Structure 1
Amino acid sequence: MAVADADLLVEVTGAVATVVIHNPARRNAMTTAMWRRLPRLLDDLEADPAVRVLVLTGADGTFCAGADLGDLDELLDAGDGSIAVAAEERLAGFAKPTVAAVQGACVGGGCQLAVACDLRIAAEDARFGVPPARLGLVYPAPTTRRLARLVGPAAAKHLLFTAELVDAGRALRVGLVDEVLSGDALAGRVDELTAAITARSQLTVAAAKEIVDGRADADRVAWWHGQVRASGEAREGVAAFHERRPPRFGWVPPAGR
């Protein structure tokens, strides 16, 4: 099958969906069409009961060099209402765990997407940057706040004020990434991590994501506890622990939850 020059490629293997940012001629920069497609693609994957984890990565050893500046006017005119921010917000709100697997450049819009994921695993050659100060742009407010929540105000200001690229080691120290591995080990570690997540209680995982992200009020938390009682997940988990066997978790999100 022919691959478009610039597109988002999707592969579902078992319970893991992998979305590949593919625009090799521009180091996987996100085009307007790609920003528009991402939320629709995420809607489909979120609705697929077979998918339990989403991995976001880039083609050919590069994560994403940012937004394609050929589309700059459209992005500028919209400000914080841009399609890039809408795509980022949809990714951040994805109901299932998300993992960014980062090699090479992860800059601008690429860093924006990586920060919107739940976890970030990086290869040693990964480089991260937030370049608006080089371009005379104002980084979107939701994006800026998300970055600051992740790395803290000082590290966020350093990235924003200087527009410097930081290596994977510094990214790890400030909390921008969770793990750094050799390039050869990255894919195996991502497979290991996603396998661990998919084997756990999806009730626990979904509830934890909502609560950590601040999207569960008191009524919603009570609803989650009700799901524990109604589903039998905890009884199965405890029984498996005592019987020294893998648990057979079976909770699936109720329709229209």
Structure 2
Amino acid sequence: MAEITYTSPTERVQSWMDEDGSTLHIRFNNPERHNALSVDMWEAVPVLLAQAETDERVRLVVFSGAGEKAFVSGADISQFEDMRAAREAVARYELMAEQALMGIYNFSKPTLACIRGYCIGGGVNVAMSCDIRIASSDAVFSIPAARLGLGYRYSAMKNLVDLVGPGVAKDLFFTARRISAVEAKEVGLISRVCAPDQLPALLAEYTQALAANAPLTVRAGKAIVAEILKPSPEVDFDKCRALIQGCFQSEDYAEGRKAFMEKRKPVFRGK
């Protein structure tokens, strides 16, 4: 098989292979905005995963953030007015994010989020879409949707509930509070935590294990877990979509965006 060369369609998403060729690294590279996800970054993920899907060398895909301050700090707010204000733009942005996140979630090979610093909003969604999550002790997690008035997709909410259970999911979602890496491990949001200087060694533990273990067995195990977690056919997806769309069409969503840009607390009216 011809060797695949990984080239990201944007400089704000870096990609490279480990020396042994068994691990593909995908790094979000927007450090001046704490690796906030811009449109081109969302679009780059499915492109790289499509290449990795057919590359027999790849046993593991690792997601990380450039620098030491953030994994992903959420969406790139500078694009909110252009990409998320109008109804058509909301639909496009949500579809683009959903395709990237579900692309990670449905990827047939193992995926791992290596987290340092801020893991906020969309960063939590990226991490939850991965099979394994490890973090340094300086990592901070939050889902601030309720502070912005935006709708939270069914798939993202299901991933959260599957990981931490409905009680903790409601706690984190309703309050939008920030939690430490230690608490994130306690509630099941991440698998393991270590000192910042030990994160490369912890990551190497996983890359080496996946390079050595039987890939067909691992992939079969992942596929079976996916079957176990499939939603009930009784789920009302239309209702979920309508509820989310209602958030994006609300006055509160407009207020949330405006308050964020003006760096003040929003005043929500439930309309």
Q: TM-score, normalised by structure 1?
A: 0.79
- Identify which of 179, 190, 201 aligns with 1:177: 190
List per-residue Cα deviations over 1:81-129 (Å, max 9, x = no partner). Answer: 4211110000001111111000000001111000000000010000011
8 Å CA contact retained: 2:10, 2:41: no
Amino acid at match of 2:49: L
Please tell me whether residue 65 in structure 1 is matched to residue 73 in structure 2: yes
Task: Tell whether 2:142 aligns with 1:129.
Answer: yes
**Is the 1:100–1:117 Cα contact (8 Å) retained in structure 2?**
yes
Q: Which runs of 4+ in 1 moved over 4 A?
A: 3-6
- CA distance in 1 between partners of 2:229 and 2:169 (Å): 26
Q: CA deviation at 1:80?
A: 8.7
In structure 2, how many angstroms separate the alpha carbons of the residues matched to 1:75 and 1:10?
A: 28
Q: Deviations over 1:193-233 (max 9, x none)?
A: 1211221111110000000111799xxxxxxxxxxxxxxxx
Q: Is the 8 A contact 2:10 2:44 kept in 1?
A: no
For residue 36 of structure 1, the aligned residue among 40, 43, 66 is 43
Per the TM alignment, residue 45 of structure 1 is displaced from its structure 2 partner at its CA by 1.4
Equivalent residue number for residue 204 of structure 2: 191
**8 Å CA contact retained: 1:5, 1:25:** no
- For residues 8 and 214 of structure 1, what CA distance do their matches in structure 2 show? 31
Structure with more relative contact order (C-alpha pairs < 8 Å, separation 6 or more) = 2
Q: What is the aligned residue count?
A: 215
Percent identical pairs in the alignment equals 37
Alignment-mate amino acid for residue 33 of structure 2: R
DSSP 3-state at the match of 1:90: helix
* 1:6–1:24 Cα contact (<8 Å) kept: no
Letter in 2 for 1:101: C
Aligned twin of 2:15 = 10
* Distance in 2 (alpha carbons) for counterparts of 1:213 and 1:4: 29
Cα RMSD (Å):
2.1
Q: Does structure 2 conserve the Cα–Cα contact (< 8 Å) formed by 1:75 and 1:83?
A: no
Alignment of 1:108-127 (within 5 A): 108-127=121-140
Instruction: Give the 5 Å matches for 1:231-246.
Output: none
Letter in 2 for 1:100: A
Secondary structure at the aligned position of 2:25 is classed as: strand
Looking at structure 2, the residues matched to 72 and 80 of structure 1 have their Cα atoms a distance apart, in angstroms, of 10
Normalising by structure 2, report the TM-score: 0.75
Q: Partners of 1:17 and 1:75 in 2: how far apart?
A: 31
Structure 2 portions without partners, runs of 5+: 1-7, 231-271
- Which residue in 1 is equivalent to 2:100? 87
